[in-house]
């Protein structure tokens, strides 16, 4: 066969100039991407770069606004989740897509419409068990267990194994979004080995991961996304960690960071603002934050950092919690939709809610004071809007996030808890907020800052690394490097 034909035959999926917006937020601004048969493509980029939207388009959950979408060289119209499945495109979503009230086997059935009729439970159980045995030998998961009753890591194993099972429809492209986030090192290794084996037998994979090491070792090709578009692509050998980080767009962060003053060591002289221990912590490691501290909470996602922030918040609201949290607290949510934004309200009201007591004249909230507060912070933090009376959802994601920062910083809180607050925030906004945080810290505010973006930790004076719900390391000053943090979050030792 001639080469051009073969080349064409090898293209499984082709995206050309794909765009997608959610309201005012542009998630994708013209993405070109080809996936060939029998290759593993690594997809990297910061949160909000558009990776998940791209994946949702391939899964048929989200339809692109503009652009070309071909599978096997055929343009896709009216593409839906079942269309994706009939083309053999499978997804493992970051937030789990298994039903907690069903058993492992029943969840396999949900994925395979063809498993029905007499003996379906047995067939579903066999299908999922065989795949689990193949990918994760010694997994210890019974097909009759309810998902709700098994640990989060095992749920993820079930979901991954399910994506690789084959009944009547083929599996041709498996997309894995942060598949190792809840897996321990050994099972993660088993998964990566399985990906290599599958790719060798002709399957295609897309691996989305923030752990650059596993992307570099597992993938044939790497695609880097930033601000809704592909900014770099090439064979994996052409990249190393530094080049990936540079392409993802954090090199500038490092350069500019040095402009901020950095205190470095624990401020033993300043009063202690927060003293907390994770519930399951043994030994004498505990989190201590002094006045003016910026304390980072690091480690892999979901290893107890948010839980500790919530405990700190709860302690501040309890009378007997005042011993450990000695000043008023404000919370900056990272998951804006579920933890932060009040969607029916104006920008002004969203900012004012944390400071209502101070905005009163007599018993009544003064609109003038509230708007004044919002106006001051719009200028100070650079919220891009004509009018603070507009609905909060008229803002882009990054500006909504700024409003949430304004809510916390405008309040009387001396301690600010930040729960991975930079998700979906564009680069320039980040730099502005970093500066603001440093200024506020210098004026005596304390920050507890959980972030999944390891480079961000270099803005912190000190860092606590979490693993399995407990603190495993305490890094300060020059020890706060990406390598140290990653090493600690895997091995548990600093």
- If one asks whether residue 341 binds another protein (CB under 8 A), the answer comes out as yes
Site string for another protein, 359-378 (x = CB under 8 A): -x--xxx-------------
Binding mask 234-273 for another protein (x = CB under 8 A): ----------------------------------------
Q: In this structure, are residues 131 and 162 in contact, taking their beta carbons and an 8 Å threshold?
A: yes
The encoded tokens of residue 114 equal 């063809």
From candidates 29, 70, 110, 369, binder to another protein by CB under 8 A:
110
Q: Is the Cα dihedral 321, 325, 326, 331 positive or negative?
A: negative
Q: Is residue 68 within the footprint of another protein (CB under 8 A)?
A: no
The residue to which tokens 């991407």 are assigned? 33
* 231: contact with another protein by CB under 8 A: no
Candidates 220, 345, 375, 427; binder of another protein (CB under 8 A) is 345
Q: Binding to another protein by residue 80, rule CB under 8 A?
A: yes
Pairwise CA distance, residues 366 & 368, whole Å: 5
For the beta carbon of residue 371, count every other beta carbon within 10 angstroms.
21
DSSP, res 338: I
Binder among 47, 94, 97, 229 for another protein (CB under 8 A): 97
Whether the CA torsion 14, 19, 22, 26 is positive or negative: it is positive
Q: Is residue 356 within the footprint of another protein (CB under 8 A)?
A: yes
Which residues inside 36-65 make contact with another protein, applying CB under 8 A?
56, 59-62
Strands, E, within 141-227: which ranges? 173-177, 204-208, 221-226
Identify the H or E element spanning 79. none
Residue 24 phi, psi dihedral angles, 5° rounding:
-80, -10
The answer to whether residue 171 forms part of the interface with another protein (CB under 8 A) is no
- Contact with another protein (CB under 8 A) among 304, 340, 397, 421: 340
Task: Please report whether residue 314 would count as binding another protein according to CB under 8 A.
Answer: yes
13-32 mask for another protein (x: CB under 8 A)?
---------x----------
CA distance 373 to 352: 7
Alpha carbon 120 to chain centroid distance?
36
Q: For the window 398-417, what string marks contact with another protein as x by the rule CB under 8 A?
A: ---------x---x------
Strand, coil or helix: what is 274?
strand
339 sits near another protein (criterion: CB under 8 A): yes
Residue with tokens 């091995």: 491
Counted residue by residue, the chain has a size of 494
Instruction: Check if the beta carbon of residue 419 is closer than 8 Å to that of residue 332.
Output: yes
Q: Which is nearer to another protein, 85 or 438 (CB)?
A: 85
Picking from 327, 350, 349, 348, the residue whose alpha carbon sits closest to that of residue 340 is 350
Residue 331 engages another protein in binding (rule: CB under 8 A): yes
Half-sphere exposure of 477 (CA within 13 A, CB side): 6
The mark string for 112-151 relative to another protein (x by CB under 8 A, - otherwise) is -x-xxx--xx---------------------------x-x
166 binds another protein (CB under 8 A): no
Among 49, 58, 91, 248, binds another protein (CB under 8 A): 91
Taking the complex as a whole, the smallest distance from the CB of residue 475 to another protein amounts, in Å, to: 27
User: What is the token pair recorded at 474?
Assistant: 């305490």
Least distance in angstroms from the C-beta of 122 to another protein: 12
| CA separation for the pair 107, 165 (Å, rounded) | 12
Binding site for another protein (CB under 8 A): 22, 56, 59-62, 80-82, 84-85, 91, 93, 96-102, 106-107, 109-111, 113, 115-117, 120-121, 149, 151, 307, 310, 313-314, 330-331, 333, 337-345, 349, 353-354, 356-357, 360, 363-365, 407, 411
């Amino acid at each position: 066969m001639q080469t051009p034909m073969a080349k064409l035959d090898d293209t499984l999926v082709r995206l050309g100039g794909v765009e997608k917006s959610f309201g005012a937020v542009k998630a994708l601004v013209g993405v070109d991407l080809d996936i060939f048969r029998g290759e593993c493509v690594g997809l990297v980029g910061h949160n909000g770069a558009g990776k998940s939207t791209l994946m949702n388009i391939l899964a048929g959950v989200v339809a692109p606004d503009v652009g070309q979408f071909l599978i096997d060289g055929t343009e896709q119209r009216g593409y839906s989740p079942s269309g994706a499945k009939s083309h053999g495109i499978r997804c493992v979503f970051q937030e789990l897509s298994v039903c907690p009230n069903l058993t492992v086997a029943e969840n396999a059935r949900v994925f395979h419409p063809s498993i029905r009729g007499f003996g379906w439970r047995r067939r579903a159980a066999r299908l999922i068990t065989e795949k689990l045995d193949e990918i994760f030998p010694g997994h210890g998961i019974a097909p009759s267990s309810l998902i709700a009753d098994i640990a989060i890591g095992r749920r993820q194993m079930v979901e991954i194994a399910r994506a690789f099972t084959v009944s009547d429809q083929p599996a041709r492209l498996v997309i894995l979004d942060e598949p190792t986030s809840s897996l321990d090192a050994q099972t993660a290794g088993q998964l990566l080995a399985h990906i290599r084996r599958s790719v060798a037998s002709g399957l295609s994979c897309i691996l989305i991961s923030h752990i650059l090491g596993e992307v570099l070792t597992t993938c044939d090709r790497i695609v880097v996304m930033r601000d809704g578009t592909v900014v770099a692509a090439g064979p994996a050998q052409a990249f190393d960690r530094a080049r990936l980080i540079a392409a993802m767009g954090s090199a500038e962060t490092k350069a500019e960071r040095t402009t901020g003053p950095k205190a470095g060591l624990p401020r033993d002289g300043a009063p202690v603002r927060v003293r907390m221990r994770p519930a399951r912590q043994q030994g004498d490691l505990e989190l201590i934050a002094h006045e003016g501290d910026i304390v980072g909470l690091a480690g892999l996602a979901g290893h107890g950092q948010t839980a500790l922030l919530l405990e700190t918040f709860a302690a501040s609201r309890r009378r007997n919690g005042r011993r450990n949290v000695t000043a008023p607290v404000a919370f900056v949510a990272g998951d804006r939709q579920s933890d932060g934004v009040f969607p029916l309200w104006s920008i002004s009201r969203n900012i004012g809610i944390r400071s209502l007591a101070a905005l009163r004249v007599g018993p009544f909230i003064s609109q003038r004071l509230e708007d004044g507060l919002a106006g001051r912070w719009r200028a100070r933090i650079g919220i891009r809007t004509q009018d603070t009376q507009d609905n909060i959802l008229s803002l882009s994601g990054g500006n909504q996030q700024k409003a949430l920062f304004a809510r916390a910083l405008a309040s009387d809180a001396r301690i600010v808890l930040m729960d991975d607050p930079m998700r979906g925030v564009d680069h320039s906004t980040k730099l502005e907020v970093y500066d603001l945080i440093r200024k506020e810290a210098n004026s005596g505010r304390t920050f507890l800052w959980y972030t999944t973006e390891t480079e961000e930790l270099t803005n912190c004076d000190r860092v606590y690394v979490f693993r399995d719900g407990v603190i495993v390391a305490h890094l300060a000053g020059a020890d706060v490097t990406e390598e140290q943090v990653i090493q600690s979050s895997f091995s548990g030792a600093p």
